[in-house]
Structure 1
Amino acid sequence: MKLVQTSIAFISGCLLGLLFLIVLGAWSFNQVELKRNEHYSLEKINNKIDALSVASDNLLIFRPDEKLWQAFLKDAQSIQIELSELKDGKFNAQRVIRHIDQLIQSVADAYQTLPETADSTTNDNQHNPLALPLRSRLLINQVADHGVAIESAIDQLIQDNQQTIESHINRILVVFMFSALIFGALCVMAFGLIYHRIARPTRNLINTIKRISQNDDTARAEVIGQDEMAELSLAFNALLDQKDRSSQQILEQQRELTKQANLLEIAGRVTRFGGWSVDMTTQKIKWSNMVAKIHGKPNGYSPTIEEGLSFYIPEHQPKITELFNKCFESGTPYDVELQILNSAGESVWVRSSGEAVRNSDGEIIGVHGACQDISERMELENRLRQSQRLEAVGQLTGGVAHDFNNLLTVVIGNSQILTESLDDSSKLLPLAKMVLQAGYRGAELTRSLLAFARKQPLDPKPVDVKQLIKLLWPLLERAVGAEISIQLIADDHLQSIMVDAGQFENALLNLALNAKDAMPKGGQLVIEAQNTHLPDRYAQAHEIDPGDYVVVAISDSGYGIAVDKLDKVFEPFYTTKPKDKGTGLGLAMVYGFIKQSNGHVNIYSEPDQGTTVRLYLPVAGENALDENPKMLKTVDVQKGHEHILVVEDDALVRDYVVAQLKDLGYEVISAEDGKQAMQILESDQLIDLLLTDVILPEGLNGRKIAENALKLRPALRVLYTSGYTENSIVHHGRLDPGVLLLSKPYNREELASKVRMALDGIDELPST
């Protein structure tokens, strides 16, 4: 049963019990009063009977007159009536009534008898009661006896009534005691109910609250019964569970906020991004730790507005001041990229943004914003612009290299034929030699452009850097001259590098010649080689792979390069030399070759102090070491008799190649495109070698022709020729395995050598 219902039942029971006791008490009091009234009536009757008894004696003795006699009878009848009423009640008054009747009868008899007796007596005996006759005396005695009996009966009635009152009072006391016991039991039960159903659960709740106040999160109130206090305990426990869930959610949110704060800190640290706010009342700027770090100040540093603006370089201070004032005065936000000088005097590019802070009424009360160090981004953008310029030049180079090399092939080949056919006395011989020399210079120029554009086909192999430099040393000494001393400093345990040895030698020669031009009065050239490791951050910033490298540094003591020109030195045709001293392709070729070799190059220079160029080249695998890299030797012109199919879309080049091969003794047929070549290959024509240009029109290039031809003729030999290879036989700057290439432009000796190598199945020239 619910506590409220139980309480109502107990309270109702107690109230009913109390009402019962009140009614019982009133009724008992009324009954006692009634008994007392009856007792008082009996006493009054007793007094009247005493008076009547005395009156009866007087009547008999003194013989009153008729008036007294009538008064006596009236009193006796009145007593008789009252006794009759008692008889009709609960009293046993018959005996008293009988005696009073007899008393009245006796007195009446005596009254009637006494006169007759008196007549027979003498007058002397008139006033002497002892002279009454015997019958009168008997009547008097009889009246006296009736009076005594009446008094005795009345006394008995009084005594009985007294006992009845006492018995009634005792019964009332018993009822009161029983009722009091019942009422007390109800009170005890009510107290027990209050304790068990209210006080105990309340104490339990109080103890639970104390445990909670002592950080006992496991505390729960005991659920006692199924009443409202139990519901209160359940609700309290549910509230605690909800509190725990809320606390857990708060903890999770705090952990999430901590994670977010950590992420924001990481983001701020990685992106060098921070916030700031200005209190216009104090004219102070509140900087975040990152903003303070950007400015070279300790954490928690708060400058004034004037001091904060003073960090900007002089030419940018008016602009940032105007933007800040406009933001505070009119609420105009700003986002601008400007330059500051930090406390160390270093130039830092920052992106500064700000917006107005308004109160609830919309009034501007301050300014806050963000500051980001964008120096690396600006550097990357400059590098990207430079890379885009270089890429554009590279695309242009690749576009013209094919046709230009075709022309140079004809020029060099025919100039060579003219030179060899003319007598020494001929006036045309010097002209023919000049044309041949110009062709070679044009070919070198094209190779340099292709090297810069990273379009030249490389054949990298594991190379011992130290041994390669020692083999090149005599040539380096002759190139720089006696006025310049050369020194080699190399680690004893240098790792091998993966590089095209011939191109690497050209790069070193180019850098040595540049160093010579920077030291016209002589100086010192130092070549250093050592192992190094490029970490992730450096590698990411310079767009190369992290890992182990060998760095080759070429340092001179020349006049150096100005800071504003350093970012342009790798551009093609850019040079600080006089026009007759260089073409501006030397460093561009070095840059392209190193990048194509998956390496990295940087340059450091100070005016009047010298220049250092560092070449970072990836190390080769331990199992790929070539202990003896050699220079390729020149091979004598060899002739043959095999059948060769020449595929060349340029008529001049095709005619030149066919003529040269026939002059070398070969049987030659030609095709101007892939379609014509496939028709010949599908015929019964005898063919030992396919000499095909890589780039051909109508979508069927040299690589596809060779693949189809090998399906028809598995024993067929293939020799590719091209002035620009694209990606058909060169991938990632390297020739595909098993590919033999004759690069344009070429002379008769190179043509004869490569054809012979292809026919004899030699992949490369022998090394010495």
Structure 2
Amino acid sequence: MLKSSLTQRFLLVMFAIIAAIIAAFYLYSVPLIKSKVFEIERNASRIALNNVFELADKMYSSSEEYRQQVLESHRQRLRAVVDSAAFLYSKQYTLATQSGMTDVQARDYVFTQLSDLTYGDDDYVWVADEDFMLVSHPDPAYRGRSVYEFVDESGHPIIPSVLKAAIADGEGFYNYRWNRLNEERKLEKFSYVKYFPQWHFVLGAGVYIDDVEAEVSARRERALAELREALAEIKIASTGYLFIFDGSGRMLVHPNQNIDGAMFRTLKNPVTDNTILQELISVAETGKELYYKWDRPTDPGNYIYEKVSLVRYLPGFDWYICSSIYLDELQASSQVLTDRIMVIATIALLAASILAFVFVNVVTRPIRHLSETASRISSGEMDATTKIHRDDEIGVLARAFDRMVDRLRQNISQLDEKVGERTRELDQRNRQLSQAMDDISAASQNLKLVEERQRLILDALPAQIAYIDNQQNYIFVNEGYVAAFGLSKQDVIGKHLREVIGTRMYEDIIPQVQKALHGTTSTFEYPLELNGETRITKRTLMPFDPEPGKVLGLINLSLDITAEREGERRLQVAQRMHTVGQLAGGLSHDFNNLLSILQGNLLAIQDNPATPAELLRHIEPAIRATRRGADITRRLLAFARRQPLSPSRIDLYALMTECTALIGSSLPSNITQMMVADKDLRQPLADPGQLEDALVNLAFNARAAMPDGGEIRFHLSNRSVTTTLLLDEQVDFGEYVEITVCDTGCGFSQEAMERAFEPFFTTRKMENSSGLGLSMVYGFVKQSNGYIALSNHTGGGACVTLLLPASAPVKQAMPASSDTPNDESTRSKGLILLLDDEDDVREVIRDQLSGLGYQVIECRDPTEACELIDTLPDLKGVVSDIVMPGDLNGFDVARHLRMSHPDAAVVLVSGFASRHDERPDDCNMLPMLRKPFTREQLGHALQSPKARQPLKMGTDN
């Protein structure tokens, strides 16, 4: 058969046909399969890269959102710190001034407290005045210095531009360079600075940008660590991997520990001799792959193995994310398939050759059928079979062909399973990426917790805070705000402004709201009804415009300033009373001089034996009128706190018992009195006579307020003041005795409550009411270092409360001398120097001295008096007015007399007696006469042992 040419030709044809079939199958199937398998492997690498890129991009977005949240958090905290510091200043300044500090002392005191105020990471507040001087700073080296002294690295002033902008804008956030405490290096700082024109200073608080970046950087490092863990689990092919580097050439994430974290800018591609860094960056985001040669872990240093990389660039982090895989690994699966196909083809060729030898005569039709089947398979119809069922070799060939196709189908199925397994691996990686996203979500939840803490802080502030959008709907309110309107947060959030505050308040403040929504901060005062009480609130509406020219809403900050306004009112009342007291004291001085002249001349006429009896009948009422005028000036002096006092410790219960007995005899039968006293009453330190006068005045005022009868109640008790207490002014801490006089009459009117202590103010219609009763009580109490308050009982009637110190010592002033004449005065002859700048007063006193038997030499100037003292060796005494024109006064003349005439008598006279705290210590025991006085009083004073008592030399005040 082999020798037959037909057989040979047929065999050749058979061999050619079989070879053609195998070639066709290879050409039509193998390249397509290799291409598809290669594409699948490469797509798997691209999918893994894209998934990691999306994860990194989401991390960047989360990081940027975190940065904005951190900045916003610092903005809100800086606003709260500045507002809290301003609130602290306001309260502490008010308390300091109320405690008696001057304005400068109060400001320095509060600025010292503010310099100790810290928050965050040793951050602080600072204050600069309108003259650009730092008045408060935690570093003592900075306080009291001009801000122009502090310059940056280029020598330019740092703070002046910030202060100018804050003063011009009212407030704002500013960036500048400043060093930390105890450090020299200057860092970028982000500060909130606010101008307070009412206090003439600027207050600022800030945070260093490094601290903000540290928070964001820490967050980024955590994200990178999470990404590193995710990348360690991702594998591409057998040894492929993902890695990340930044634009500076630092390898951020790489599975090779020798490269991870290192700079690889010098590593080169052995094919192009260019740096790998440049080539990877050049193909980033182009969709192109970089082919280069590199070594294998199993063959280090031998750069002959081809690799392929895809690169994605993330601008936010400046990251380059790359996939890297050896080219032969991408082709490995397709090569295995190709080899198997080639083995099958070889086996098929051998089988066909054997069959051709055996069945050469009967193969034409089956071979044609096989050819058709092969053609169908080559066209991609993998389900095609020969459908030849024969028991001969052609049938065997057909079955072998079918098995070959089935084997090929199985290989393709195995390849599909392998691809499916790889897909499942990618799904696992995707789940890991999802877990990473859940971690990011947990971090976002932590941010919400931070916001909740800030909300709690805002709720705890003693202020009303709310945020309203540009549609006038509430977005945020704190507890103080909703409490002011008696609502809850759920009742307010989302509601319109008019629904919450009411139509009346809305119409009152809508101009201010519109002003804020147009970009201008508005500050105004508004009375608010709270728990049935009117409270004065200071409301500041600040526009919220994160983008210039675009106001998204407004922030309302309201503070209760009712206490401040009440303090201002009390201060004005105290100042008015002080002014009236000065005026009353001055008037009483001049009036006493006039009364001295009138009384002295009238008494001289009365004592003259030659005065007609008809004239004496008219002189007696005139003398009584001068004494009545002297009593009025005494009351004025009591109000002006310039009456002489003789303070001592008083048995209050005994004094009150005597006083109530005296008062009871003057009360009508329809008025009763009652006294209640605590056990173990302390002894107040005051003038007993003046206290008794004050109580009698209060009792008679109560009698006048009860024309139809009633009850007067006296209550005596001990009181220890250890907390803030306001009567007519803030009470100093200490031990006191409280005396309360109450009646059941008509009570005080509003006008009486405000003006009761003013001299000559009275609500009585009687002609003989001078209006000096309560003013005298007021002056006595204040001169005794005490306090007084008026009030009305809810059940009706008025109440006056006196608070007298029970322990504080009071310097005693000499009381006026007794009116009892000294019988020996007329026997004491000698020369007396008379000093007074009023000619008429001097004439009256001269006549009185002459009537007492003294020789008198007069002068009107203290300097002249001192010269006369030095030239008169027989001088027996000096009678001198205290207040004199020029640099010297009566006290100076008394001292000069004691130096040259230690045994001479000294008597001082004045239109108003000095207050005990104004009288020099060395002249404290000298006798003092208050104008007007009688001849007998003058004589008694000259003969008093105290008139010749040596002075305790001290310092004149």
Question: Using the alignment, how far apart are the partners of 1:624 and 1:396 within structure 2?
Answer: 25
Question: Which of 670, 674, 685 is 1:498 aligned to?
Answer: 685
Q: Deviations over 1:366-401 (max 9, x none)?
A: 221211111111112222222222222122223332
Q: How many angstroms does 1:291 deviate by?
A: 4.2
CA contact (8 A) 2:816 2:929 kept: no
Would you say the 8 A contact 1:572–1:585 is kept in 2?
yes
Distance 1:601 1:734 in 2: 29
- The whole-number CA distance in structure 2 between the counterparts of 1:760 and 1:347 is 61
The answer as to whether partners of 2:746 and 2:797 remain within 8 angstroms in 1 is yes
* Offset at residue 682 of structure 1 (A): 0.6
Q: 1:274 to 1:744 in 2, by over 3 A?
A: farther
Is the alpha carbon distance of 1:733 and 1:615 closer, same or farther for their aligned partners in structure 2, counting shifts above 3 Å?
Answer: farther
Offset of residue 689 of structure 1? 2.8
Relative to structure 1, the CA distance from residue 528 to residue 484 in structure 2 (aligned partners, 3 Å threshold; closer, same or farther) is: same
Distance 1:610 1:423 in 2: 58
CA–CA distance in structure 2, aligned partners of residues 624 and 757 of structure 1: 24
Deviation of 1:407 after TM superposition, in Å, equals 0.9
* Whole-angstrom CA distance in 2 between matches of 1:18 and 1:364: 63
CA distance, structure 1, for counterparts of residue 934 and residue 587 of structure 2: 20
Pairwise mapping of residues 610-759 of structure 1 onto structure 2 (< 5 A)? 610-620=797-807, 635-640=820-825, 641-643=828-830, 644-725=832-913, 730-731=917-918, 737-758=924-945
Structure 2 residues without counterparts, runs of 5 or longer: 1-256, 268-294, 305-438, 440-449, 951-957
Sort the Cα spacing of 1:714 and 1:588 in 2 relative to 1 into closer, same or farther, 3 A.
same
Is residue 465 of structure 2 the alignment partner of residue 278 of structure 1?
no
CA offsets, 1:306-339, max 9 Å, x none?
355349xx6x7643233224433x3343211221
Return closer, same or farther for 1:613/1:431 CA change in 2, 3 Å cut-off: same
C-alpha change, 1:541 and 1:482, in structure 2 (3 Å) is closer
- 2: distance between equivalents of 1:481 and 1:320? 58
CA–CA separation in structure 2 for the residues paired with 1:739 and 1:290:
63
The 3 A distance-change label for structure 1 pair 732 and 756 is closer
SS in 1 for 2:885: coil
Give the distance between the partners of 1:317 and 1:306, measured in 2 at CA: 6
- The letter for the 1-side match of 2:802 is L
Q: What is the CA–CA distance in structure 1 between the aligned matches of 2:942 and 2:628, rounded to whole Å?
A: 24
Cα distance change of structure 1 residues 413 and 18 upon mapping to structure 2, 3 Å threshold: closer
> Which residue matches 1:338?
526
Deviation track 1:177-224 (CA, whole Å, cap 9, x = no partner) reads xxxxxxxxxxxxxxxxxxxxxxxxxxxxxxxxxxxx9xxxxxxxxxxx
Partner of 2:44: none
Match of 1:364 among 551, 559, 562: 551
Size of the aligned set, in residue pairs, is: 511
| Structure 1: gaps (5+ residues) | 20-212, 214-253, 764-768
Match of 2:646 in 1: 459
Flag the 1:337–1:458 CA change in 2: closer, same or farther, 3 A. farther
Q: How big is the shift at 1:639?
A: 3.5
User: Partner of 1:118 in structure 2?
Assistant: none
Q: Does 1:306 align with 2:498?
A: yes
The 2-side partners of 1:587 and 1:663 are apart by 40
Distance (whole Å) between structure 2 residues aligned to residue 347 and residue 326 of structure 1: 26
- Tell me which structure has the larger Cα radius of gyration: 1
Q: TM-score, normalised by structure 1?
A: 0.59
Residues 27-426 of structure 1 mapped to structure 2, 5 A cutoff: 269=462, 273-279=463-469, 283-284=473-474, 286-292=476-482, 302=492, 304=495, 305-306=497-498, 308-310=500-502, 318-328=507-517, 330-342=518-530, 344-360=531-547, 362-421=549-608, 426=613
CA distance in 1, matches of 2:552, 2:672: 70
Tell me the distance in 2 between the aligned counterparts of 1:18 and 1:561.
108
- SS of residue paired to 2:757: coil
Q: Matches of 1:732 and 1:652 in 2, distance apart?
A: 26
How far apart, CA to CA, are the structure 2 residues paired with 1:523 and 1:631? 38
Same amino acid, percent of matched pairs: 28
**What letter matches 2:824 in structure 1?**
K
1:51 maps to none
User: Which range is displaced more, 468-477 or 520-529?
Assistant: 468-477
Give the alignment partner of residue 584 of structure 1, picking from 771, 776, 780: 771
Query: 2:925 touches 2:946 (CA, 8 Å); kept in 1?
Result: no
Other structure's SS at 2:623 match: helix
Does the Cα contact within 8 Å between 1:309 and 1:320 map onto a contact in 2? no
Structure 1 residues 576 and 340: alpha-carbon distance in aligned structure 2, compared to 1, 3 A threshold: same
| Change in 2 beyond 3 A, CA 1:521/1:423 | farther
Amino acid at match of 1:638: D
Matches within 5 A, 1:500-579: 500-538=687-725, 542-578=729-765
Q: Which amino acid aligns with 1:276?
A: A
Q: Which residue of 2 aligns with 1:187?
A: none
TM-score, structure 2 as length reference: 0.48
| Distance in 2, Cα, partners of 1:732 & 1:375 | 41
Query: Any conservation in 2 of the 1:287–1:301 contact (CA below 8 Å)?
Result: no
CA distance in 2, matches of 1:12, 1:300: 65
Shift of 1:613: 0.3
Return closer, same or farther for 1:448/1:682 CA change in 2, 3 Å cut-off: same
Q: How far did 1:701 drift?
A: 0.3
| 3-state SS in 1 of match to 2:552 | strand
Give the Cα separation in 1 of the matches to 2:919 and 2:899.
Answer: 27
Query: What letter is aligned with 1:707?
Result: R
2:432 is matched with which residue? none
Contact kept? 2:682, 2:737, Cα under 8 Å: yes
Contact 2:911 2:931 in 1 (8 A): yes
Greater relative contact order (Cα < 8 A, sep 6+): 1
| 8 Å contact kept, 1:503–1:593 | yes
SS in 2 for 1:427: helix
User: Is the alpha carbon distance of 1:410 and 1:291 closer, same or farther for their aligned partners in structure 2, counting shifts above 3 Å?
Assistant: farther
Match of 1:599 in 2: 786
User: Is 1:448 paired with 2:635?
Assistant: yes
Aligned residue identity for 1:336: F
Q: Alpha carbons of 1:421 and 1:294: their partners in 2 closer, same or farther (altered >3 Å)?
A: farther
Return the structure number with greater helix share: 1
Using the alignment, how far apart are the partners of 2:919 and 2:863 within structure 1? 29
- CA drift of 1:648 comes to 1.5
Deviation at 1:624, TM superposition (A): 10
Q: What's the offset of the Cα at 1:634?
A: 6.0
Alpha-carbon deviation of 1:750?
2.8
Q: Quick check: 1:335–1:353 contact (8 Å CA) kept in 2? A: yes
SS of residue in 2 equivalent to 1:537: coil
Q: Separation in 1 of the partners of 2:816 and 2:585? A: 28
| Residues 760/720 of structure 1: CA separation in 2 closer, same or farther (3 Å cut) | closer
Gap change, CA 1:466 and 1:749, over 3 Å in 2:
farther
> 1:440: Cα distance to partner?
1.7
Structure 1 SS opposite 2:642: coil
1:515 CA displacement: 1.1
1:51-73 Cα deviation digits (max 9, x unpaired) = xxxxxxxxxxxxxxxxxxxxxxx
Query: Aligned equivalents of 2:919 and 2:492: distance in 1?
Result: 53
How much does 1:501 deviate? 2.0
Secondary structure, in 3 states, of the residue corresponding to 1:434?
helix
Q: Give the SS at the match of 1:538.
A: coil
Conservation of the 8 A alpha-carbon contact between 1:502 and 1:631: no
CA contact (8 A) 1:544 1:598 kept: no
